[in-house]
Structure 1
């Protein structure tokens, strides 16, 4: 009987040891599983980073290609434009000043100059180099852009409403880049109102986290679908028909604003239009605002 008790105790001890080993093995297995899960999650994150970087590289490559294409097109257009300009000048010199044809030749000459300016912008786009930052009047650059796009706005029966705050501070910026920014935004607004509408431009001194010049550009067009709103400033994304847009305009706008340490956002209501909000940061110097030595708007 005593031998049986001893045997039972021995078996009990063995069972407890086995259970203890099993618990330790289970703990090790659980720890291993947690480690594997962490490694799996890290691997998934790295894969997402690789995909994101690959996409960015692809976009950069496409941008480079677009720049090269723009340069090629610009060079191809320059020669015939120069020829047309010389022919028009020659014809104008051969006709008396009071000849009715002089008016038509003058219009042709103006359009050739306008095309030449567009070609120059193509070349400027393809030769993006060092930015030239100067003291800039934002409203003046807006008016410059409106002059360039005036005929397109008039053709689309678009009314312009201006609301400029008096005595706005100047900012430090690249005037050519600001011109490109406003041209892109006004062109988009015009395209959104093919049946006519109102383009409202507000410029005022804003006070958020830091002082800024705030710009609002609103159209009364078709608006932007909610699903598209988050993507409209992505490179090569466009809601326009094939052949009507490259999907680069708003992407370039975002790049320009960010280069000036500003902020750009878009709000829209389908069927009522869209509004672009832009802020350029400033600091106070001797009671006057400027954007030199600024911190980016968050």
Structure 2
């Protein structure tokens, strides 16, 4: 149902004031006052759409009331009411922000109603314009954030490529030295160096796989392997935040037809969100990733022990640009993109609050059947 519109009539003449209330009352919600200063107070207390303002007031002129009203943001539309003798003043009032004026006595009831309706329309258009400006500013902030992320991604990719060469050298030299005769302590140290170099090499390979431009190339793949390689990327960083990450993967998990990098992107995004929540959590910090299957689908569940998602947010969490982090910390696109990726795999992603504590994301993907 459309709003009736909220009108404030300001006139010290009780006859004029009550007649305007009667004329407008059938179509609009009307409040009245006989004093200019009182009108200024009322406008500060309540958001009116239109103020119908008499030019001649006993305590303060209508022009001064108009100026004070227009200092408020957002301000109502103001229509002046004047006798013929003050017509020039009414025209001056329009230069100060009044949108129209009507002369007393009114030619007809419709003249007053139509003039007020005009103000209501102006108010609605202004509200829409302000909302569009606000939305545009939000989109601009999101685009700036995406540009920053894109730049960081390019820098990170270049750094990782540069790291690959020395890591390969460390791995090669450690293997060479292990083939030489050396005592047990040195051999054990070299083995640790080789093991850590291999871990770094795997991490670089995983990050480069993830960073490649997605082409949505689906191949038969084991979802457990996607989970493991994603966890390899995040394990060290998560440990710095004292978060325990546990895997409970079904060893008999069926194969799916999927783009490895895109599914990895979805899992990584959910883990990142869980990490952001848990590092501020003063209780148990746990992420549990499980896999299982039924006759037709495999399921990847990612649980965290953080606080519940507010009820009013849970239905909006996959919507584009929805974020509780602020534009400087998040784009609000991660989960929306994740949903689109899973949908493109004929799957489904959902989220729910657990019975006692924490949140669970569930990804369903169809089993690959040749």
TM exceeds 0.5? yes
Structure 1 unpaired stretches of 5+: 1-17, 240-245, 283-288, 292-298
Q: Which residue is equivalent to 1:277?
A: 361
Q: Which residue is equivalent to 1:256?
A: 338
User: TM-score, with normalisation over the residues of structure 1?
Assistant: 0.62
Q: Which residue is equivalent to 1:176?
A: 261
Q: Which is bigger in relative contact order (C-alpha 8 A, separation at least 6)?
A: 1
Q: Which residue is equivalent to 1:56?
A: 142
Structure 2 distance, partners of 1:67, 1:153, is: 20
Q: Map Cα deviations across residues 62-96 of structure 1 (whole Å, 9 max, x no partner).
A: 12112112123213322332332232123223226
Go from structure 1 to structure 2 and tell me whether the alpha carbon gap of 1:114 and 1:257 turns closer, same or farther (over 3 Å shift): farther
Structure 2 distance, partners of 1:48, 1:226, is: 25
Report if the CA contact (8 A) 1:235-1:247 is conserved: no
Structure 2 distance, partners of 1:275, 1:161, is: 16
User: What does 1:19-98 align with in structure 2 at a 5 Å threshold?
Assistant: 21-95=107-181
Report if the CA contact (8 A) 1:84-1:112 is conserved: yes
Report if the CA contact (8 A) 1:157-1:195 is conserved: no
CA deviation after TM superposition for structure 1 residue 107, in Å: 2.1
Structure 1 runs, 4 residues or longer, greater than 4 Å off: 143-159, 166-170, 183-191, 193-199, 204-207, 224-227, 229-239, 246-254
Structure 2 unpaired stretches of 5+: 1-103
More helix by share: 1
Structure 2 distance, partners of 1:93, 1:249, is: 51
Please report the RMSD computed on the Cα atoms of aligned residues, expressed in angstroms. Answer: 4.8
User: TM-score, with normalisation over the residues of structure 2?
Assistant: 0.52
Structure 1 distance, partners of 2:165, 2:204, is: 11
Go from structure 1 to structure 2 and tell me whether the alpha carbon gap of 1:87 and 1:197 turns closer, same or farther (over 3 Å shift): same
Go from structure 1 to structure 2 and tell me whether the alpha carbon gap of 1:189 and 1:34 turns closer, same or farther (over 3 Å shift): closer
Q: Which residue is equivalent to 2:188?
A: 103
Go from structure 1 to structure 2 and tell me whether the alpha carbon gap of 1:117 and 1:200 turns closer, same or farther (over 3 Å shift): closer
Q: SS of the counterpart of 1:177?
A: helix
Q: SS of the counterpart of 1:128?
A: coil
CA deviation after TM superposition for structure 1 residue 60, in Å: 1.8
Q: Which residue is equivalent to 2:201?
A: 116
Go from structure 1 to structure 2 and tell me whether the alpha carbon gap of 1:120 and 1:144 turns closer, same or farther (over 3 Å shift): closer
Q: Map Cα deviations across residues 162-210 of structure 1 (whole Å, 9 max, x no partner).
A: 375x976654321233345445655776794899776544445589xxx
User: What does 1:127-138 align with in structure 2 at a 5 Å threshold?
Assistant: 127-138=212-223
Aligned residues: 254
Q: Map Cα deviations across residues 198-247 of structure 1 (whole Å, 9 max, x no partner).
A: 6544445589xxx8644322244x546859x87999799779xxxxxx96
Go from structure 1 to structure 2 and tell me whether the alpha carbon gap of 1:40 and 1:122 turns closer, same or farther (over 3 Å shift): same
Q: Map Cα deviations across residues 44-73 of structure 1 (whole Å, 9 max, x no partner).
A: 232133123212311221121121121232
